Amino acid sequence: MSSRDIDSTSENVLHDWARDAEDDDGQVEPEPEVEIEPAEHDEDEAAPAWGAASAPAEHEEAVAKTTVETEAEEALEPAEVDEDVPELEEGEIDETPMHVELSHEHAAGDLHIPDGYAVLEGVAEGGRRAVGIVVSRFNGSVTTQLLDSALAELATAGVRQDTITIMVVPGAFELPLAATALAKTRRFACIVALGCVIRGDTPHFDYVSGEAASGLQLAALETGVPVSFGLLTLDRVEQAEARIGKGAEAVRSALEMADLFAHLRAAASR
């Protein structure tokens, strides 16, 4: 049989199968589905390719989470406590002295005046001068030490005790008025004002210290009598100990100004 006869016979057979299928309910039976069993994978095998990219991201997330938890635990650890510092009970006040460092608020060196000029200058000597002291009662533990410092300096300068008058006022705010009253008597060569203001939680400190300073300056300007400034303005009471010498310093300033004014009057009368 030739190849053409074989092809013709095949076409006839296929045609007969299609006609028989149409005769059965007029429909062609669908080909049966072939179930494909999933391939078995070894549990120890590596993850599929699509999951390989997510592995580094999951690792980084785990590391970041561990770091955050570690930092949180460190933050919650209690701070180290100095064993040398005793613990205070409730309501107990710590009376341990506080170390306060002094600021470098002065420049070293003396004033130099060229030769050939007329110079008027006073010295801190008492002689027979009468001195008035105005001191505030408020913050008495500090103002008492200021007063002691001032009286010791007056004795060193040669001012006799019977020529010293001490006027006590309630607080620093009253210092200018008392200084003005003493100066207007014309009995004193100079006035020394002593007081202490300590900063609190309100602006009261600024008002009192500012008005006291300007008032004492005004007392000197109105009367022409030297009024020295011995008012401590502190942030903390612990700062007072290092500044008690301001009482003696105020005395030296007052005596020097009194002596300077005496030289000025003598020079003017010539």
Provide the pLDDT for residue 71: 58
Measured distance CA(131)–CA(230) in Å, rounded: 14
Q: Which residues contact 126 (CB under 8 A, 6 or more apart)?
A: 154, 157, 158, 159, 160, 255
Provide the pLDDT for residue 127: 81
Strand order in the sheet with 190-198: 164-169, 131-136, 190-198, 227-234
DSSP E strand boundaries for the chain: 131-136, 164-169, 190-198, 227-234
Distance set, CA 96 to CA 86, 92, 99, 138, 238 (Å): 10, 12, 10, 24, 11
Question: How many residues comprise the chain?
Answer: 270
Active-site option among 59, 99, 104, 204: 204
Provide the pLDDT for residue 53: 47
Tokens 């007392």 appear where? Answer: 219
Provide the pLDDT for residue 162: 95
Measured distance CA(234)–CA(103) in Å, rounded: 13
How crowded is residue 241: how many other Cβ atoms within 10 Å of its Cβ? Answer: 12
φ/ψ region of 195 (left if φ > 0, alpha if ψ in -120 to 50, else beta) reads beta
Provide the pLDDT for residue 142: 96
Q: In this structure, are residues 229 and 214 in contact, taking their beta carbons and an 8 Å threshold? A: no
Per-residue pLDDT of the chain (270 residues; tens, 9 = 90+): 555 555 555 555 556 655 655 555 555 455 555 555 555 555 555 445 554 445 555 556 665 666 656 555 555 555 555 555 566 566 565 555 555 555 556 777 889 999 999 999 999 888 889 999 999 999 999 999 999 999 999 999 999 999 999 999 999 999 999 999 999 999 999 999 999 999 998 888 999 999 999 999 999 999 999 999 999 999 999 999 999 999 999 999 999 999 999 999 998 988
48 token code pair: 């599929």
Provide the pLDDT for residue 80: 55
Provide the pLDDT for residue 109: 85
Element (H, E) at 103: none
Active-site annotation holds for 104: no
**CA proximity to 99, closest of 236, 200, 199, 198:** 236
Residue type, 234: L
Q: In this structure, are residues 135 and 194 in contact, taking their beta carbons and an 8 Å threshold? A: yes
Provide the pLDDT for residue 220: 97
How crowded is residue 262: how many other Cβ atoms within 10 Å of its Cβ? Answer: 14
